[in-house]
Amino acid sequence: MTGKMWPLIAMALLLAGCSSYSSESLAPVPGSITFNGQPRTKLTKSPIGASFPHTFTDQTGRQVEEIYVIEPDRSLRIAKRHYLPVSERDMVGRNGA
């Protein structure tokens, strides 16, 4: 390969890593919208591929944010899951403070 091709290859690799969400789905956990299966109602007015957040407290008391994506069959897929950091403000009153 010539030296002129390396910048193109590097750019292609960078762009490949910039995809919005993985096509793989995360397993639902207690508190997830899809924990007991797909919801009965379908999001018919939302465009396919649209995403939205859902925040809840898990069994251990941690704040969880999940990002859902609407699939072509109108089912929901968990695309990302974040455990939100605990702030000092949240800890007031918990440890005798």
- Give the number of domains in the chain: 1
Q: Look at residue 93 and tell me if it is in a domain.
A: no
Q: What is the mean pLDDT of residues 35-55?
A: 93
The answer to whether residue 84 is domain-embedded is yes
In the sheet that holds 63-70, the strands lie side by side as 51-57, 63-70, 76-83
In a domain, 77, yes or no: yes
Task: Output the pLDDT for position 6.
Answer: 61
pLDDT of 83 > 60? The answer is yes
In a domain, residue 7? The reply is no
How far is residue 61's CA from residue 55's CA, in Å, rounded to a whole number? 12
Partnered with residue 80 across adjacent β-strands are: 67
17-23 average pLDDT score: 50
Which pair of structure tokens corresponds to residue 27?
Answer: 């397993």
Q: Range of 74's domain?
A: 29-35+45-88
In a domain? residue 59: yes
Selected residue with higher pLDDT from 11 and 75: 75
